[in-house]
Amino acid sequence: MKESQETPKSSSKKPYTGQGSIDVFAAQCNTCKKWRVIQSEEEFEEIRSKLSKEPFFCNKRSGVSCEDPADIEYDATRTWVIDKPNIQKTPEGFKRHLVLRRDYSKLDTYYITPEGKKVRSQNEIATILKGNPRYQGVSPTDFDFGSPKVMEDTIPVDVIKKGLGSSNKKLKPTKDGDK
Ligand SMILES: [Zn+2]
């Protein structure tokens, strides 16, 4: 199920503003390429889960058409990360969390179970599901621990200057690091 991490043109990107996790969800119209803010994570997951079969269009939002200005622009005022398309919707009661590393190198993906337990791997979730009859019908494959791609051109300049965020853009590694 793991396809290439290549940026799908019509995929959904999630802008990030600096608190370490996602604060805005957006999807790109397949026709006009404008970005539309998606109000809830649930709706975003719904769109993402079938993006290849059903590309996103402006008119999927009620009262919105391609003529309307974009809700949000893809630029470096915030950091964008892009999810793979077609990730399964998070099973009911669970929550998917993405946390950006301080050096912007990648996002860590984990799930929170309905009991509030943090799960970091497919093996761990398999064990939990097996040990709890309540989760009958939920499969470990419903969980995707893959990490979205951090869009390099939207990483803050000061992060890049520190030599973090991108290994091939290392300018001047500091001796004492980030302290
Ligand atoms: Zn459009």
Chain position carrying tokens 């915030």: 78
Q: For residue 156, how far is its CA from the centre of ligand 1 (angstroms)?
A: 28
Question: What global pTM score does this model have?
Answer: 0.77
Q: Cα separation of 169 and 162, whole Å?
A: 10
Q: For residue 34, how far is its CA from the centre of ligand 1 (angstroms)?
A: 6
> Region 53-67: what's the mean pLDDT?
95
In sequence order, the 6+-apart residues with CB closer than 8 A to the CB of 160 are 166, 169, 171
Neighbours of ion ligand 1 (CB under 5 A): 29, 31-32, 58, 66
What pLDDT is recorded for position 21?
A: 81
pLDDT at 173 over 80: no
pLDDT at 66 over 80: yes
What confidence tier does 33 reach under pLDDT thresholds 50, 70, 90? very high
